[in-house]
Structure 1
Amino acid sequence: MQQHESLKEHYKFTKEEALLLQGLQPKMSALADSFIDEFYDYIWGFGATAKFLKNQKIIDYHRIKIKAWFINLFCGKYDLPYFTYLYKIGEVHVRIGLPTHYVNSAFTFVRTFVIKNIEKNSTDELERLKEIEAVEKIIDINLDTLTSSYREEELSKFLSLSKFEKTILGGLKKFNSYINFFLAGSLALVAFFAIGLFVYDIYLLFFSDIGIEKGILTVLGSLLVLWAAIELIHEEINHLQGKGFAIGAFIMLAMAALIRKVLIYSLSSEKGNDLLVIGAVIVALAFSYWLVNAKNKAAITAGRTDIA
């Protein structure tokens, strides 16, 4: 499933539009029964609807679920649970073998029904246009999320995974999730101790005979450790959210660790050769970081050019 926040960004769906939809919910809730009746008249025209709605019990259950989905379309809170709910609906469609064009056609009806009633009941021209734009976006987002299940199913068929392989893959994904959460917790613990180390070094700087020069360098070293821990937590959060591997951040962390070494070794006259080696490595890492950034900027520029 696509990340819900990035999906909303791609559709330029704003918080103001979410509030507009929430404001429409009372009106649409009042129209829910009419919507269901007209919706069923519409989908029975598909011809093969009876194949999926085989008896009255299934029909009654389906009507309840469709009505709940329609009202929830205007809930105003489009967070991860909402998108998970949509994705599960899509999985059901895939499991029962519902053709995608049925879903697309049904959404055409939903769009027409909602916009028709907005135009019928709205008196403010500007407000009506804003409401219609918000409705268009949330319907497209819903359709995008629902049909993502079909795309993943097609990929699964392409890979031709056996049931055993799927079980193994599912287990590995769960194990990977547990490891990632364990890493996130461990990094938080490291950050906590890094804060303690930083505070302790500050204390030594002011209340011991460690010396100003050594004390300041020690504090800077602790600060680098804390910064590194925070950066790792940030990258782990991005990873948990499904974002890519940020190699640049890890190059920066390596540079920070080496700079801390330089700060420590600079206090000793016997570490001259080590400082030269570390300095050369830092320069190499800095060049690598520049190359990574240059590549990323070039990719962004190329993407903008393609869009234009």
Structure 2
Amino acid sequence: MQQYNSLRADYKFTEEEAKILKDLQPRMEELADQFIDEFYDYIWGFGQTAQFLKNKDIIAHHRKKIKEWFINLFCGKYDMPYFMYLYKIGEIHVKIGLPTHYVNSAFTFVRTFVLNSIEVHFHNKEQHLKEINAVEKIIDMNLDVLTSSYREEELSKFLSLSSFEKTILSGLKKFNSYVNLFLAGALALVAFFAIGLFVYDIYLLFFSDIGIEKGILTVLGSLLVLWAAIELIHEEINHLQGKGFAIGAFIMLAMAALIRKVLIYSLSSEKVDDLLIIGFVIVSLAIAYWLVGVKKKANSV
């Protein structure tokens, strides 16, 4: 906790600002109940809040602690015990597995609520700006300390590994980045061949006896494969930028290739058995694609 000794200095937080916050405390105490009600309306919108606030007793305890924290935000005394108190709150968040983006989002509400309450009581421009600066700094310092628990948890997990385990972990990360780059290159190659296939089908349509109906369906199938390949490249770019792996895009590419087969085979009466098998596989892939989409949507709520 040595870094918290210089926290106030890093944020250029002064004793005058501490006094300004202390002077705001009576007004904020009056607003505490309103704050709690609106805060809960806000966090219930996260979708997974019920996972952490499972019953009435936990909710009542949590409301009490949030109210205490809110009033204590304007205590005027921001020393080591105060920051240790915040750090312990952060440790609890880590222990229960609360995502950091929930904490960050909740602080957006806190900031907006406090600044709006200050705006309502605006009288003197100079004093108003001082109050805003003091509030912004104390909220940022609170968020800094709370999220530091997450950073130290991640660091402690890494430091607890042996040197051999750290070497393996670092090597796997590098290997994973190389594989992702290789995959991106391979997808670009697939897209190149898909363009070639599309051009070849256009050639057959105009310069062979393939037949207009079959030729058009073949071209449409190739175009569908090309579209799916481009979509897959787009998803891989997102993955390289840190987003999740889009298994749905691979399923979509497989469906596109099979649909192309169906378009071609649909003109042949000798391919009925093959069409039934391919149709069954397409339906299975469509169900898998739907399940992936449902899971992705549920995780984003």
TM normalised by structure 1 equals 0.51
Residue matched to 1:236: 236
> In 2 relative to 1, CA 277–182 (structure 1 residues): closer, same or farther, beyond 3 Å?
same
Q: Secondary structure at the match of 2:202?
A: helix
Counterpart of 1:236, as a letter, is: E
* 8 A contact 1:100–1:147 mirrored in 2: no
Q: Per-residue deviation at 1:184?
A: 0.8
| CA distance in 2: counterparts of 1:102 and 1:189, whole angstroms | 55
In 2, Cα distance between the equivalents of 1:271 and 1:245? 36
DSSP-derived class of the 2:251 partner: helix
- Could you say what secondary structure the match of 1:209 adopts? coil
Spell out, residue by residue over 1:185-219, the C-alpha distance to the aligned partner (whole angstroms, 9 max, x if none).
Answer: 22112212322321232233234332211211221
| One-letter amino acid matched to 2:251 | I
CA RMSD, 1 decimal: 4.1
Aligned to 1:153: 155
- Please tell me the residue identity of whatever aligns with 2:219: V
User: For residues 206 and 219 of structure 2, what CA distance do their matches in structure 1 show?
Assistant: 11
1:216 paired with 2:216, answer yes
Alignment partner, residue 101 of structure 1: 4
The answer on 1:198 being equivalent to 2:201 is no
Which residues of 2 match residues 154-303 of structure 1 at below 5 A?
154-157=156-159, 160-300=160-300, 303=301
Provide the C-alpha distance between the structure 1 equivalents of 2:210 and 2:278, rounded to a whole number of angstroms: 25
2:54 is matched with which residue? none
For 1:205 and 1:106, locate their aligned partners in 2 and report how far apart those are by CA, in whole Å: 74
Match of 2:32 in 1: none
Secondary structure of 1:199's aligned partner: helix
Q: CA 1:99–1:262 in 2, change beyond 3 Å: closer, same or farther?
A: farther
Matched AA of 2:232: L
**CA deviation vs aligned residue, 1:231-266 (integer Å, no higher than 9, x gap):** 221222122122223333232222222212212222
CA–CA separation in structure 1 for the residues paired with 2:155 and 2:198? 51
Cα 1:134/1:105, change in 2 over 3 Å: closer
Q: C-alpha displacement at 1:144, in angstroms? A: 9.2
Contact 1:221–1:260 (Cα < 8 Å) also in 2 = yes
Instruction: Quote the Cα distance in structure 2 between the aligned partners of 1:251 and 1:263.
Output: 18
Alpha-carbon distance change, 210 to 106 in structure 1, aligned in 2, over 3 angstroms = farther
Partner SS, residue 286 of structure 2: helix
- Name the residue aligned to 2:53: none
SS in 2 for 1:152: helix
2-structure distance, mates of 1:133, 1:289: 48
Deviation at 1:276, TM superposition (A): 0.8
* Number of equivalenced pairs: 197
> In the TM superposition, what whole-angstrom CA distance separates every residue of 1:125-164 from its partner, at most 9, and x where no partner exists?
xx9999999999999999899887534312324xx31012
**Whole-angstrom distance in 2 between the partners of 1:245 and 1:227:** 19
Q: 1:125-140 to 2 correspondence within 5 Å?
A: none
Q: Which letter maps to 1:156?
A: F
Overall identity of the aligned pairs, in %: 66
Distance of 1:265 and 1:112 partners within structure 2: 80
**Cα offset, 1:112, TM superposition:** 9.8
Question: Equivalents in 2 of 1:132, 1:150: separation in Å?
Answer: 27
Q: Distance in 1 between matches of 2:15 and 2:279?
A: 66
The 3 A distance-change label for structure 1 pair 182 and 293 is closer
Determine if contact 2:11/2:137 at 8 Å carries over to the other structure.
no
Cα separation, 1, equivalents of 2:132 and 2:219: 54
Aligned CA distance change for structure 1 residues 139 and 257 (closer, same or farther; 3 Å): farther
1:21-47 alpha-carbon deviations (Å, 9 max, x no partner): xxxxxxxxxxxxxxxxxxxxxxxxxxx
- After TM superposition, give the deviation of residue 167 of structure 1 in Å: 1.1
CA distance in structure 2 between the aligned counterparts of 1:112 and 1:185, rounded to whole angstroms: 58
Aligned CA distance change for structure 1 residues 296 and 183 (closer, same or farther; 3 Å):
closer
Contact 1:214–1:267 (8 Å) recurs in 2? yes
Q: Normalising by structure 2, what TM-score?
A: 0.52
